[in-house]
């Protein structure tokens, strides 16, 4: 429900659960694991430039690859793009620990919209790996990006010892509901890796219940019959066709009595049915007019909505609720000071967006993925209402219910975090892992993209609603997958912005602000301001083998010392606490190492690498006098090394040592 809130501090008896959850939280690494350097180098050599890769620190495989791809992979005929993708994975499968792409990846669908997008399901011995999908993107026949979640190293017996009926019985027994549970879809054999170690062959049993409303996913070990994982995947909040549930408490009574169709809805009198008719129409119009999406599934699906569900004092869970159940939207009757739940336009469109998400990214409804799912619904619910009402300063959600659930401009007003430092690691029993709480973090980022502002010390220049909504929709529809989390939406929106440059008025500077908006909420780093505008003090250089004292008037970037010779050691002083030393070198492209060592006792120097455009491309921020190192594969070009001190870090007696090796 939208009204759900929790405090950050948890009861002591949940501590053990939290520790387990924290240990399984998704983490990402800036650099590849050591056993991947050769694979990255091969890719870079073939492409002629360093790829931009984000790595899953837990699995050691990429979650997002973008940048230049080998030109010999380009295709002229769109019908050959599937073969192109398989060729890529065959050639660079070592990045993923992938051996036989033709059997490990099964094409799900193809989307063509301002570029081509293929979505693949990971398979193991013919069995789908639940939630594991890879997406391949191209434009004009040339690959532009690969992203998603692939699970390497699966080893298990693919032959089940228990059958689907046995698994269903086990799930029903565990659910133990007094209400009858219905089977939502056929029981499916899947490999389960999400929050499960090691991977397990399981039967996926999906059951729907009324009290509490639920779409329960049970993963039953196909060998032992043990339940390896289960959760409620029902998105709570509010949304869509027009039926009257007449206070019924059970979903078995849905949709209820028909009160309006497309042709008759215009004659409805004021009330919940009329509100639902108007706002579901607004939801359809918004996604069609802004994104060309025909209904929630993109294929003109009928939008069914039931109103006045539940009765106050009899079944409050139904009356004070709204949800998308996989088939239709359902809105509670409200009461006791709450308006009926179809009265709030942003709530209705919030629920409609849950349906859009199910038919695009398929984000699951738990932990970080579920919080992102909730955030997508908040973002488009608020954006659509702003367009509908013309009030572009309205960042509240649910105000027309006679309450406010969340505020995107300041999530902390309603007990939500706005920064990753305050992310709530909740157990799965508590709000499905905090889906209605942690959604405040991407919500705040979306607000900053539109309006701008300085948050947590990071300045963001707003790019406006029109650009932001296109970027988020493209990310949702083309880049996100079931297991995507906050880092994925960060990269996906940056990539989507790059894809859209030249359309909707989007320029490169806008994409920098998208990156800054995520940095402001603690995800990734901000785009470095132009280092060319900074003034730096002169530095004393001593270069081997001659070790002559050379003073450099390092007042601007044009006076940076260099070019540095590969493999040569350079010695210099940070003369004052405000001094900063700049060097430059030019490489033909390839693997480089920058080493800053022999730091004077009691000092703390930071090491940064900028490209010729003034963009920060590498950092090392170790504490104290610990050596600093930057290494990786770079594209050909000129680079600048900037050494800067923290407070009380100067020395005129002890020099530091700088060495760079490059091709």
DSSP string, 522-562: TSS-PPPPPGGG-----EEEEETTTTEEEEE--SSGGG-B-
Contact status, residue 287 vs residue 279, Cβ threshold 8 Å: no
Nearest to 27 by CA among 463, 523, 401: 523
CB-CB contact of 111 with 476 (8 Å): no
User: What's the chain's Rg over C-alpha atoms?
Assistant: 27
- The C-alpha atoms of residue 623 and residue 600 are separated, in whole angstroms, by 13
Asked if residues 87 and 73 have their Cβ atoms less than 8 Å apart, the reply is: yes
User: Is 416:437 a contact under the CB 8 Å cutoff?
Assistant: yes
In a domain, 292, yes or no: no
CA–CA gap between residue 433 and residue 427 (Å, rounded): 5
pLDDT value of position 34: 64
661 Cβ neighbours under 8 A, 6+ residues apart = 566, 567, 592, 593
542: which residues sit within 8 A by CB, 6+ positions away? 548, 549, 550, 570, 571, 572, 655
* CATH number for 560: 2.60.120.380
Q: Strand 539-543 and strand 569-573: pairing?
A: antiparallel
Report the C-alpha gap between 181 and 173 in whole angstroms.
11
β-strands 188-192, 182-183 pairing: unpaired
Q: Is 351 a catalytic residue?
A: yes
Instruction: Write the CA distances from 551 to 48, 64, 559, 600, integer angstroms.
Output: 37, 44, 11, 20
Is position 653 annotated as part of the catalytic site? no
Same domain, 389 and 461: yes
Question: Is the same domain home to 392 and 481?
Answer: yes
Query: Which CA distances in Å does 544 have to 489, 551, 587?
Result: 47, 15, 21
Q: What is the number of domains present in the chain?
A: 4
Domain boundary, last residue among 208, 232, 256: 232
Q: What is the CATH number of the domain that holds 446?
A: 1.10.390.10
Domain range holding 577? 531-661
Which parts of 452-592 fold into alpha helices (H)?
465-474, 486-500, 508-520
Which DSSP helix (H) or strand (E) runs through 409?
none
Contacts with 582 (C-beta within 8 Å, 6 or more apart), sequence order = 531, 536, 554, 557, 559, 560, 561, 640, 641, 642, 643
Q: DSSP for 29-44?
A: ESS--GGGHHHHHHHH
Please check whether residue 296 lies inside any domain of the structure. Answer: no
CB 246 within 8 A of CB 256: yes
For residue 231, give the nearest of 190, 180, 191, 194 by alpha carbon: 194
DSSP secondary structure, 62-75, as one string: EEEEES---GGG--
Output the pLDDT for position 538. Answer: 33
> How much is the pLDDT for 531?
39
Rounded CA-CA distance 367/511 in Å is 28
| CB atoms near residue 600 (< 10 Å) | 18
Last residue of a domain, one of 172, 205, 232: 232
SS3 of 356, please? Answer: helix
DSSP summary character for residue 17: H
Do both 134 and 185 map to the same domain? no
C-alpha–C-alpha distance, residues 606 and 596, integer Å:
9
Are 257 and 244 within 8 A, CB to CB?
yes
Task: Report angle CA 439, 443, 447 to the nearest 5 degrees.
Answer: 170
Same domain, 45 and 74: yes
Same-domain pairing of 473 and 547: no
Angstrom distance (rounded) from CA 547 to CA 525: 37
Is the domain of 481 the same as that of 591?
Answer: no
Whether residues 80 and 219 fall in one domain: no
Residues of the chain scoring pLDDT < 50: 1-26, 114, 236-240, 530-555
Out of 50, 351, 469, 608, pick the active-site residue: 351
CA distance 294 to 355: 12
Identify whether 641 is part of a domain.
yes
Cα 326 to Cα 294: distance, rounded to the nearest angstrom? 17
Among 483, 508, 527, the domain-final residue is 527
Q: Check whether residue 558 and residue 434 sit in a common domain.
A: no
CATH assignment at residue 168: 3.10.450
**CA gap 656, 573 in Å, rounded:** 6
Contacts of 245 (CB under 8 A, 6+ apart): 253, 254, 255, 256, 306, 307, 308, 309, 310, 330, 333
Residues 6 or more apart in contact with residue 543 via CB below 8 angstroms? 550, 568, 570, 571
Q: How many CB atoms lie within 10 A of CB 198?
A: 9
Burial of residue 314, with CB atoms counted within 10 A of its CB: 0-12 exposed, 13-18 middle, 19 or more buried: exposed
117, 137, 340, 436: the active-site residue: 436
Instruction: Report the pLDDT value the prediction gives residue 460, as an integer from 0 to 100.
Output: 93
Looking at the fold, whether 195 and 59 belong to one and the same domain comes out as no
Query: What is the domain-level CATH number for residue 53?
Result: 3.30.310
Within a domain: residue 622?
Answer: yes
Same domain for 370 and 498, yes or no, is yes
Q: Is residue 153 part of a domain?
A: no
**Does 601 fall in a domain?**
yes
Q: Please tell me the distance from the alpha carbon of residue 514 to that of residue 456, in angstroms, as a whole number.
A: 15
Indicate if 489 and 548 belong to the same structural domain. Answer: no
| 624 found inside a domain | yes
Contact 253, 243 (CB under 8 A): no
- Quickly list H helices, 164-267: 164-175
| pLDDT for 490 | 94
User: Three-class SS of residue 120?
Assistant: strand
Would residue 519 count as lying in a domain? yes
Residues 562, 614: one domain?
A: yes
**CA angle in degrees (0–180, nearest 5) for 110-113-115:** 85
């Amino acid at each position: 429900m939208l009204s759900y809130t929790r405090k950050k501090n948890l009861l002591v008896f949940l501590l053990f659960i939290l520790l387990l959850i924290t240990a399984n939280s998704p983490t990402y690494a800036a650099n590849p694991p050591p056993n991947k350097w050769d694979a990255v180098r091969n890719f870079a050599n073939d492409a002629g430039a360093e790829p931009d890769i984000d790595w899953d620190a837990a699995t050691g495989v990429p979650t997002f690859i973008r940048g230049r791809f080998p030109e010999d992979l380009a295709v002229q005929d769109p019908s050959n793009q599937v073969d192109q993708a398989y060729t890529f994975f065959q050639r660079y499968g070592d990045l993923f620990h992938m051996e036989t792409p033709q059997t490990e990846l099964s094409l799900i669908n193809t989307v063509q919209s301002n570029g081509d997008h293929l979505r693949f399901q990971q398979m193991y011995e013919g069995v789908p790996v639940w939630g594991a999908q890879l997406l391949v993107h191209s434009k004009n026949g040339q690959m532009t990006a690969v992203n998603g979640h692939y699970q390497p190293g699966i080893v298990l017996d693919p032959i089940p010892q228990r059958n689907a009926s046995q698994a269903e019985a086990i799930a029903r027994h565990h659910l133990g509901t007094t209400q009858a549970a219905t089977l939502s879809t056929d029981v499916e054999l899947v490999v389960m890796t999400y929050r499960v170690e090691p991977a397990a062959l399981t039967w996926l049993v999906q059951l729907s219940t009324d009290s509490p409303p639920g779409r329960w996913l049970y993963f039953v070990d196909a060998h032992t019959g043990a339940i390896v994982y289960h959760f409620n995947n029902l998105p709570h909040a509010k949304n869509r066709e027009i039926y009257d549930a007449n206070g019924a408490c059970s979903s078995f009574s849905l949709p209820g009595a028909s009160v309006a169709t497309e042709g008759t809805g215009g004659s409805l009198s004021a009330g919940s049915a009329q509100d639902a008719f108007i706002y579901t129409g607004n939801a359809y119009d918004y996604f069609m007019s802004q994104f060309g999406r025909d209904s929630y599934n993109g294929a003109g699906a009928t939008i069914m909505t039931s109103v006045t569900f539940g009765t106050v004092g009899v079944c409050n869970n139904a009356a004070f609720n709204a949800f998308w159940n996989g088939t239709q939207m359902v809105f509670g009757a409200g009461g006791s000071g709450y308006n009926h739940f179809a009265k709030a336009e942003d709530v209705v469109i919030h629920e409609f967006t849950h349906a859009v998400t199910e038919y695009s990214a398929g984000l699951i409804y738990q932990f970080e993925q579920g919080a992102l799912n909730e955030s997508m619904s908040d973002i488009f619910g608020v954006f659509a209402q702003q367009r509908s009402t013309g009030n572009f300063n309205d960042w509240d959600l649910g105000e027309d219910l006679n309450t406010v659930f969340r505020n995107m401009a300041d999530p902390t007003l309603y007990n939500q975090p706005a920064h990753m430092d305050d992310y709530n690691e909740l157990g799965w029993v508590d709000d499905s892992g905090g889906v209605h709480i942690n959604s405040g973090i991407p919500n705040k980022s979306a607000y900053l993209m539109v309006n701008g502002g300085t948050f947590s010390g990071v300045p963001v220049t707003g790019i406006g609603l029109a650009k932001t909504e296109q970027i988020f929709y493209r990310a949702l529809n083309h880049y996100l997958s079931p297991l995507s989390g906050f880092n994925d939406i960060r990269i996906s929106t940056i990539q989507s912005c790059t894809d859209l440059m030249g359309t909707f008025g989007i320029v490169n500077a806008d994409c920098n602000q998208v990156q800054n908006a995520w940095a402001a909420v603690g995800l990734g780093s901000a785009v470095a301001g132009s280092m060319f505008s900074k003034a730096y003090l002169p530095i004393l250089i001593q270069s081997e083998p001659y070790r002559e004292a050379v003073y450099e008037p390092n007042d601007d970037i044009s006076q940076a010392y260099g070019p540095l010779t590969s493999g040569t050691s350079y010695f210099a002083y940070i003369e004052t606490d405000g001094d900063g030393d700049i060097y430059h070198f030019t490489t033909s492209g390839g693997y480089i190492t920058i080493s800053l060592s022999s730091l004077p006792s009691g000092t703390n120097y930071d090491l940064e690498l900028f490209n010729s455009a003034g963009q920060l491309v590498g950092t090392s921020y170790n504490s104290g006098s610990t050596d600093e190192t930057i290494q990786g594969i770079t594209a050909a070009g000129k680079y600048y090394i900037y050494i800067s001190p923290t407070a009380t870090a100067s020395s005129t007696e002890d020099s530091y040592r700088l060495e760079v090796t490059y091709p």
